[in-house]
Structure 1
Amino acid sequence: EIQKVSVSTMNIKPSDEEWERLQKALDWPIPDQEITHLIQSTSPVHSTFSIVGLKESYKVGEKISVIITARDHNKNLKRYGGDFFKAKLFSTELKVLKFNGTYSVALLLPWEGQAQVHVRLEHSSEVVQILKKYRDSSFPRTHFNGYFEGSGPNKTRIREVVECNLKWGADGSWRKGDCCCEHRDIRTGTVWQCERPKKLSCDKLVHHSGGRLESPLNPFEQQIFTKKCVIFFLHRKLTNVAISGDQKIIHVLPNTTAIEKCRSGMMTPVPAGFYLKDVWKSFVCNTRQFSSAQMGDCLKNKIVYLMGDSTTRQWFEYLERKVPDLKRMDLHTPHTGGPLMAVELKNNIIIHWRVHGVPLRFNKMLITDLHYISNDIDEIAGGHHVIVFTFFAHLVFHPITFYVYEVAKICQSVVALLSRAPETTVIIKSGNTAGLKVHMLAFQSYFVFTKKMWYLLWYLLYMKVYIMFRDIEGVIFLDVWQMTSCHYLHENIHPGPVIIANDVDMLLSYVCPT
């Protein structure tokens, strides 16, 4: 029986009680005032860490304590918290959040052998303050293109490209007055606005693509977000910097513990696992490694729906390569934008991939191929189906209230699906970590801002999804954020093949736990 949740099937809006829970879960301390000089910000050079009470040896499963001391560029102890540090034990990662200048970290010792602690200042509390300011603002940081097309005189075609964006919030549109065409999704109520074409009518919108980016940073904020700044006549890197500290070797002895098979309702700890010889060892459940033949057996007589963005397309492409005799159907759609479909007739396997609806930063594609996830789930009968969706990467620069609204609609659709077909497997894939692309470095301060915004907002979005879905029996959370950030490969929104292989093994371990 499906447990009751506060997002009812009659009302998309979360209840006041749930909204309050969401806000409390996402509380993040920030400075009580804005700084005026860079030297007041947290310094990775002068911040340090130390291991507390280091013993001669430990057993697997025990924890060590690490103290991080945050100081500014004048070597003064920070008087407020909110810095975002990452503490790693080789590949085990923990995100740290405390309320003063000294932070405590508990690191799990997950493997037998030797280990060392590594701590990195991802971004300072002053940066977090700026991120929060723009997170809560309606400033349009990303724009989109709408391609209108229609018949012209003498059998010609008229084509016009205009700017489009989301209509949301108390301020209404990002353009004022009678400026725009409004495209409302009948079932979700979401409104997409495009500037009114000069020659064509509003119903001639045919294609969509990502458009220009717009930085909200003022000159001082740009200094904070620039990779290197001059402080005391020295060039210093302010972001994503390792801090100095205790380099002692930690000796870990074996300790045998049993781990249960994968199922819905399991909590994801931090850390959620570690890599050993490029194989993810999960602390959540017993992850299997699937051969190609085992993949085919696992997916036999199943229809798999992969929804969301290009990160689930990576999973589609991996399964396409690995599952024996799985062949892609030619749907006459673009490879990057889809939708895509692959079938294997002998074992009756069908795999679909489709991106979610706008807002979406993709190459030019048909607007009719952009479906809202909730609408697609409503069209699925359920049963021998595996539904995987992700809804993170393209939402980080839009209002969180809009994100909650969209997630509530998906939640509503999932509740209805599991009510009519409780045997359906529903999996929520988290977002991946993000790295700066080489061609973006020309706009350095903005894209450093982009990456930092990604870290903070992904955490906030993931927490919102988790809270809104945690009371629904049968929903599985797949935290691939930790799987991408814990690997030695450089952080990338599209991780390398070894990480994708582990992602899919984890996915199939829930579909076929034995």
Structure 2
Amino acid sequence: MRKLVSMKTICKALFFALVLYTAYIMTLRYVVQPPVTFALIPSCRPKSYELVLATTNYRVENEKQQIKKTHRPKAIGITNSSNTRYYVKHSGQSVNAGSYFSVIIEARDINNSHFRKGGDFWYATIRNKVVGLNVAGKITDFDNGTYEATFFAAQSGEYDVEITLVHPSKTTDFIENVLWPMEDRVVWNGNFTSNDNKTYEIKKCKLKVHADYKNACVYSFPLALGTTELVCDKPNEKVFTCDSLTSLKSKNTYIERHFSYLFSDNSALFQKSVTYVRILNGPLKINITETSENIVYHLPECKADLPATISDGFWMKNSWTSLRCKSKQWSMAEIRQCVKGKQLYFFGDSTTRQWNGGLLDLLGLQKSNMTKYPNPKKTYHSSDVVNLTFHFHPFTLGVSNSPYRIGRWEYEIMDNLDTRICNYIIMISPWAHYTQWVKERYIERLYLLRQTVLRLRKRCPNTVFVIKTPKPRNHDTGTSLLYAGDKLIYDIRSFFLDVFKDIGIHIIDVWDMNLAHPSKSKIHMPMRIIYQELYLFLSHVCKVE
């Protein structure tokens, strides 16, 4: 008679089978085939991991994060700045002045294993402090944890090499998948004022997609915003109408609190060890050797739709040399000759207002009594030297009240320009106030702006259109990384380049120019940099002799 197998024996067998299956699963390195659901029981739990595999989620205890699965399994871990290394490509060869050279970056994790996922956000520069020469490197992401930074070796000498991890890929994923789609990242207090100006009421205002909103005041600008509308809670109907909205003030305290919670919950993604941290595992200096040949730049004229280049240019002290096209340093007499008889319109934010003031400086007109400042959102100068008007866009962010509709959408001006003249130079650059918008709504705004440009071009074919890109501003601490960080701004630059390509628009890309300069990146850069941006602008819109 056969003996019955005891329940204890059966449990042991099942236990060891479970252990073997666990080992097999761990060797797959997180490749999960849904709909398997499996969890390690506490007695079998490894010291460093608690693995929970389910149809849509897994959790890694040592990182304390819940990560939503996508169609492609993601590597568990994060780029480790202490282990990440870089080296000069073809290091056995000398780097000659006038040539290009590359630095290869290998992202590594905490275990010093080569990270096999792209998406890290890098800055790369070389600097010769003796002669004041500074260059930014162009980054190529091979999407496998390897990156290449390419530099132009403009002059011989010893250079400091600075490779900076701005954000690891997990942070850029968070920015793309969580921040950009997030609603209510920009909120205003709307001030409704009675007709006798004695009574007012404050109501919350937000940007929302067009819908049939109840008990709300809705403000639509379809030629500027498309389906996006400003929606305010309706004030007391016995005293106010929706036309009573007089000013907007961004709710900075509300936004700061909102982002503080978000930052606290995701602080590991923005800690100092992985945010704006310089990589030290690599050659901190490189020697560029003299060449016996003269360096000659064969560059095209500055024109619309220029192709991308290996390097945008370099700084020699406070003078920028473009490697995209033939730019020059302009004298006041040359600038006056260029803009004579032209009508210039600058549309944008406070960085565009710097251009407005800078151009008046270069023309010797900043203190002219012909320069008028009718309100904080508009400046104009009209004289026999130049006709220049600056308009700030509406719905701005800031610490003070801004009168509602004091700014102007681009179409409101461009659609009403006199077609009998058609001697216009139009520069457009709306970016600094849009990092808190939902991405799709901002892109819709850019495409509508593109249509505004094309409408004016149809009416005035000789109009010159210029787009100025964003630049780094180096918000490197706390919640500012979430609402105005450089990765968000760099994404906006990418939107600009994509939306306005191949339609005859001059693109003034100032990103690498500002990144390369030794001044700390901030929203309003020193005027010596602004003047160099304007020289590049003038090289596009004026004839270079």
- Place the TM-score, normalised by the shorter chain, in its bin: 0.7 to 0.9
Contact 1:84 1:97 in 2 (8 A): no
Find the residue that maps to 1:445 and give its secondary structure.
coil
Q: Which of 250, 268, 275 pairs up with 2:287?
A: 250
How much does 1:332 deviate?
6.1
The aligned residue for residue 72 of structure 1 is 109
Q: Which of 499, 509, 513 pairs up with 1:479?
A: 509
In 2, the alpha carbon distance for the partners of 1:495 and 1:222 equals 29
Q: Which of 389, 398, 410 pairs up with 1:352?
A: 389
Gaps of 5+ in 1: 1-31, 228-236, 438-443
In 2, the alpha carbon distance for the partners of 1:461 and 1:48 equals 29
Q: Give runs of aligned pairs for residues 456-475 of structure 1, distance below 5 A.
A: 456-473=487-504, 475=505
Q: State the identity as a percent.
A: 24
The aligned residue for residue 224 of structure 1 is 269
Kindly tell me the number of residue pairs found equivalent between the two proteins: 453
Q: Which of 191, 197, 218 pairs up with 2:229?
A: 191
The aligned residue for residue 332 of structure 2 is 292
Q: Which of 521, 529, 541 pairs up with 1:499?
A: 529
Find the residue that maps to 1:394 and give its secondary structure.
coil
User: After superposition, what is the alpha-carbon deviation per residue over 1:205-257, rounded to whole angstroms, capped at 9, x for unaligned?
Assistant: 11223222231626340243243xxxxxxxxx331011011235332425323
User: After superposition, what is the alpha-carbon deviation per residue over 1:51-72, rounded to whole angstroms, capped at 9, x for unaligned?
Assistant: 1222553344432232212122
Cα gap change, 1:35 to 1:101, in 2 (>3 Å): farther
Contact 1:137 1:399 in 2 (8 A): yes
- More off after superposition, 288-297 vs 122-131: 288-297
User: After superposition, what is the alpha-carbon deviation per residue over 1:159-191, rounded to whole angstroms, capped at 9, x for unaligned?
Assistant: 22222121127xx69xxx634211112644442
Q: Which of 162, 171, 175 pairs up with 2:203?
A: 162
Matched, 1:448 2:486: no
The aligned residue for residue 100 of structure 2 is 63
- More off after superposition, 252-261 vs 422-431: 252-261
In the alignment, residue 123 of structure 1 is paired with which amino acid?
H
Name the larger-Rg structure.
2
RMSD value over aligned CA atoms? 2.6
Q: Which structure has the higher relative contact order (CA within 8 Å, separation 6+)?
A: 1
How much does 1:361 deviate?
4.4
Contact 2:155 2:288 in 1 (8 A): no
How much does 1:331 deviate?
5.5
Q: Which of 91, 95, 120 pairs up with 1:54?
A: 91
How much does 1:202 deviate?
1.0
The aligned residue for residue 435 of structure 1 is 474
TM-score by length of 2: 0.77
The aligned residue for residue 43 of structure 1 is 80
Cα gap change, 1:192 to 1:34, in 2 (>3 Å): farther
Q: Which of 431, 437, 441 pairs up with 1:402?
A: 441
How much does 1:268 deviate?
3.7
In 2, the alpha carbon distance for the partners of 1:363 and 1:503 equals 29
In the alignment, residue 239 of structure 1 is paired with which amino acid?
T
Find the residue that maps to 2:204 and give its secondary structure.
strand
Q: Give runs of aligned pairs for residues 114-153 of structure 1, distance below 5 A.
A: 114-152=158-196
- More off after superposition, 424-433 vs 183-192: 183-192
Cα gap change, 1:464 to 1:491, in 2 (>3 Å): same
The aligned residue for residue 311 of structure 2 is 271
Contact 1:82 1:98 in 2 (8 A): no
Cα gap change, 1:357 to 1:101, in 2 (>3 Å): same
User: After superposition, what is the alpha-carbon deviation per residue over 1:407-459, rounded to whole angstroms, capped at 9, x for unaligned?
Assistant: 1111111112122222211000101211339xxxxxx53123335xx322333
TM-score by length of 1: 0.81
In 1, the alpha carbon distance for the partners of 2:535 and 2:371 equals 27
Cα gap change, 1:362 to 1:419, in 2 (>3 Å): farther
- More off after superposition, 32-41 vs 73-82: 32-41
Cα gap change, 1:179 to 1:191, in 2 (>3 Å): same
The aligned residue for residue 343 of structure 2 is 303
